[in-house]
Chains A and B, each alone.
Chain A
Amino acid sequence: MALIWQESRIVAAAPETPRVRRLTLAVGWDRPFRAGQHVDVRLTAPDGYQAQRSYSIASSPTRPEAIDLLIERLDDGEVSGFFSDVAEPGDAIELRGPIGGAFVWEPAQGGPLLLVGGGSGVVPLLAMLRHRAEAAPDVPALLLYSARTAADVIARDELIRRDSGEPGFGLRLALTREPGGRRIDAARIGESLAALGAPAHTFVCGSNPFVSAVSDLLVDAGVPAATIRTERFGGETP
């Protein structure tokens, strides 16, 4: 099946954290997307110059007609700067997707489900835990999420509400730049595995060094490598 470029309309925009903006785009795809997948976007200047980037989908596949992208402003970011400062509801953006067939979770895969995110690497994991809550609330799931400060936690209110309100879902925050803050280490991985039980599927997303460190810790803790899926992006470590 070919992936064709389509014009998508921005239907809503709102700040998510001081550095992250949420854009909701209407899509008319001929196939459902799966939690964890991403889209490619293509911006075109008046002289024909184009820039492309990939962004993970944050919203649940249970709302197929629109997707949320959470775009972190990167220092000097050519495309993230445009989405942070210029793009507004009503604008049309060229987009194609859904893309990716390895870093995906569907309710039929079951659990327990261990999600480990660093910084904006939490975005595809949000799609998974949102889909789980709607379609498979009996699947045990735990999100271990490393961010710099409490203000940088994407979807913080929602995650705290799910943690207290959803049996079977647990949230563990690792705030690296708060007083007494700690990184994800072997002890933190061990606590999460003890709370969740042996995960059937583990998804790790974040910066390159974050994903390398976390996947090594998981393998050291006895999680079978074949059950761990990773996705990485450039940029700073939280």
Chain B
Amino acid sequence: MVTRGFTGRRPPRPEAERLPPGQYLTEDFPVLQLGPTPRIDPARWSFTLREGSKPLKSWTWAEFEALPRTRWKGDIHCVTKWSKFDTAWEGVTIDDLLAAAGIAAPTAYLLAEGYDDYTTNVPVADLTEGKAMVATRYAGEPITPDHGGPARLLVPHLYFWKSAKWVKGLRFTKVDEAGFWELRGYHMYGDPWREQRFTGD
């Protein structure tokens, strides 16, 4: 349906090709979260892999910082329609986390869990083989609390609500369980290139 009188302002071609449908480019870094930024003391921070309620492996902040580190640079896409190009992150890939724990992923799905009790589901296959990390640095600096520091999940090929802020662990689940937003009408998978914003998209 053509909107009467709307001509729009097209982004230049190289930019347009990097934007998934319905997205626009932003230069700043908007913040989206449910509530206040949690206050996390690094001395009490820990990160835990669980299978259901059973802990598999846990790291303190010092132990986590000693794990192998990987850098990633690329574009991120938020379901609220902004995209940001060439973001630079550093952290520990999920492959390296599993290797450090000495385990293979016990199930095909998991829920990322945040210190603010936020949850979001991601298939394990979307986290391994270098596709995702637990990031602790952004643009060369520790991630600020507003952007999910000290550590957040980074799954850049899915809408950014999957990249849980203030992440405290990954809980492997037998089936694909819906997280916070997925229970409230947002898509179970969230591929920006297929514009999977909401249930049924």
Contacts and interface: CB of A to CB of B under 8 A. Distances in A.
Contact of B37 (A45, A46, A99, A212): A212
Contact of A52 (B5, B22, B181): B22
Chain B interface mostly helix, strand, loop or mixed? loop
B9 to A, nearest CB: 5
Nearest first, the 3 closest Cβ-Cβ pairs linking A and B are A2-B200, A101-B184, A215-B36
A169 B7 CA distance: 44
Given A78-B9, A86-B5, A2 B36 contact: no
A226 B35 contact: yes
A228 B35 contact: yes
Centre residue among A2, A100, A234 by max chain B CB count within 10 A: A234
Contact of B2 (A44, A212, A215, A219): A44
B3 interface: yes
B198 interface: yes
Interface of B: 1-10, 21-22, 24, 26, 28, 30-39, 80-82, 116-117, 146, 180-181, 183-185, 197-201
A94 interface: yes
Contacts of A94: 1, 3
B185 A3 contact: yes
A234 B198 contact: no
A2 B2 contact: no
Nearest to B195: A52
Majority secondary structure of chain A interface residues (helix, strand, loop or mixed)? mixed
B3 to A, nearest CB: 4
A94 B2 CA distance: 9
Interface in A96-120: 99-102
A45 B198 contact: no
B22 A86 contact: no
Interface string A169-196: 0000000000000000000000000000
Given A99-B198, A232-B31, A43 B3 contact: yes
A225 B2 contact: no
Nearest to A81: B9
Contact of B185 (A91, A99, A211): A99
